[in-house]
Amino acid sequence: MAAVVRGVLRGIKEKGLTNFLRELLAQKTARYLVEHRQNYSGEGEELIYHSKGHALNPGQRDWTRFFFPALGGLLYGYDIGATSGAAISLKSSTFSGTTWYNLSSVQTGLVVSGSLYGALIGSALAYTIADFLGRRKELILASISYLIGALLTAAAPNFAIMVVGRFLYGIGIGMAMHAAPMYIAETAPSQIRGMLISLKEFFIVLGMLLGYIAGNLYVEVVSGWRYMWLMLCAIQGKGNLPETKENATRCLCRLRGQASPDLVSEQVNLILEELSYIDQEKQAGFGEIFQGKCLKAMIIGCGLVFFQQVTGQPSVLYYAATIFQSAGFSGASDATRVSILLGLLKLIMTGVAVLVVDRLGRRPLLLGGVSGITVSLFLLSSYYTLLKDVSYVAVIALLLYVGCYQLSFGPIGWLMISEVFPLRLRGRGLSIAVLVNFASNALVTFAFSPLEDLIGTGLLFCGFGVIAVASLVFIFWIVPETKGLTLEEIEASL
């Protein structure tokens, strides 16, 4: 008790009474100490010494360190949501504000999917530079690529510069989608790691919703597409992050908010034990990724992100406007409002997944959500082959698909690939998984129209349903439960 009193007096002396009281009211968990004793316990709560002379309460964590990496997902999602509206604005003779608005279908495709091509390159770059740079520097590099790409796109004087900007922005997407889940996984406590990594998917969906709203606001404004993409420059903040391999004890105290110095030291020792052999061996070769535990992790991670895309997610969203038009919604304004409503549904269901993933576990959400996806795909197939006059079937199927996807593949896919790879090969393994994700997305996006012409929409959605059944079998037999396990324990269990 005396130590606490001395700490309060020190705080008043250093900060002044007014500032001290203001900080005390704003941060109720702060406790002020003059000196640190290794095993000090005050009223049942052990305190960690802070370099500036105050302690962090056991429940106090530096949440901003998890928040900012997840913002890379927001920028990715915003691009998805805003691009559809931007493409309409750009091609409008009235609202384009350019002399080169008359774009061909190929040119429009390059504008819309240019960031996807860049993301493929970005994830490939991550394979070679991620472990060399570290997570923090990779996030900073992704942030710079985001900024330059957005500026070039928004200020593009011609089509060629716009494509370059879209490509650079996509490189940022590829690197951010690689580094953010790893950074959070390596710094988050195992008890809430699932929630924190799933926040990235929540931010992706939030970004999509904001993009839809921006599209609705600016689609009928002259040069509105410039404003849509210029807003991408507004969010930056990855520079103030600690590197996950440096100053381990201090970082763990701030990031995890652990109460006991002994417990923090024990966690650091466990991590250092895992790292100790790295300096004694050569850098992991490409072939080593497909051996032993890493091969199993590669099957789990790449399998999940592959099924995440080839169960038709890009195609279902592509058909959303058509489905709602068949239910009586028509016109551009109705389409944009429906997109906003879909974005809200995705956001709500992702929020539910974020809240329950560490309580229910990964497998139950995957199995339940993908089961719903399977049912919705067969319902869509039935609508396009047998039930065309029953439009509400398609609407129900679409809403079921979106909701179940955001409970399962949406957040859990990214969560699992950040958890399962062994430490020594985590950076390279995850970069391959991200590459598979974007490549699968591109495959589904560009194969959809030819397959639709070849076999019809109904059979195509039926095929997606069969793939969803295969993904259920894969999840049931191959994907492990990682709830509550540290990354080291997950590696040992593979």
Provide the pLDDT for residue 487.
76
Domain 64-241 and domain 286-494 have a common topology? yes
* More confidently predicted of 130 and 454: 454
For 447-488, how does the pLDDT look when each residue is reduced to its tens digit (9 = 90+)?
Answer: 877 888 889 889 999 999 999 999 999 999 999 998 888 777
Q: What confidence tier does 283 reach under pLDDT thresholds 50, 70, 90?
A: low
Q: List the chain domain ranges.
A: 2-60+243-273, 64-241, 286-494
Residue 228 has pLDDT above 80, yes or no: yes
Q: Which of 271, 131, 130 is nearest to 189 (CA)?
A: 271
pLDDT grade, residue 128 (50/70/90)? confident
Question: For position 486, what pLDDT does the model report?
Answer: 79
Q: What's the DSSP call for residue 243? A: -
Q: Which pLDDT value is given to residue 6?
A: 56
Read off the pLDDT band of 55 (50, 70, 90). Answer: very low
Residue 446 has pLDDT above 50, yes or no: yes
Q: 64-241, superfamily in CATH?
A: MFS general substrate transporter like domains (1.20.1250.20)
Q: Within 10 Å of residue 283's Cβ, how many Cβ atoms?
A: 10
When comparing pLDDT for 492 and 53, which is higher? 492
Question: 126 with 431: CB under 8 angstroms?
Answer: yes
CA distance 24 to 11: 10
pLDDT digits (tens, 9 = 90+) for 234-261: 655 444 555 544 455 555 555 555 445 5
pLDDT in tens, 287-307: 677 777 788 999 999 999 999
Enumerate residues 6+ apart whose C-beta is below 8 A from 412.
198, 304, 353, 357, 362, 365, 366, 369
pLDDT confidence of residue 281: 40
What does DSSP assign to residue 285?
A: P
With 0.85 as the threshold, say if the pTM is over it.
no
Of the two residues 268 and 49, the one the predictor is more confident about is 268
Report the C-alpha gap between 297 and 427 in whole angstroms.
12
Contacts of 313 (CB under 8 A, 6+ apart): 405, 409, 444
Give the single-character DSSP code of 34: S
100-114, 166-180, 220-234, 287-301: which has the highest mean pLDDT? 166-180
pLDDT in tens, 62-101: 555 666 677 778 888 888 888 877 887 887 778 778 888 7
User: Cα–Cα distances in Å, from 232 out to 36, 40, 271?
Assistant: 45, 48, 37
**Residue 284: predicted pLDDT:** 56
State which fold the 286-494 domain adopts.
Answer: Growth Hormone; Chain: A; (1.20.1250)
Choose among 48, 35, 53: nearest CA to 255. Answer: 48
Q: In what order do the strands lie in the sheet with 54-56?
A: 31-32, 54-56, 48-49
Report whether pLDDT(370) > 90.
yes
Question: What are the pLDDT digits (tens) for 187-207?
Answer: 667 677 777 777 777 888 888
The pLDDT tens digits for 326-344 are: 666 665 556 566 777 888 8
- Flag whether pLDDT at 35 surpasses 50: no
Identify the burial level of 367 via C-beta atoms within 10 angstroms of its C-beta, where 0-12 means exposed, 13-18 middle and 19 or more buried: middle
Q: Comparing 212 with 160, which gets the higher pLDDT?
A: 160
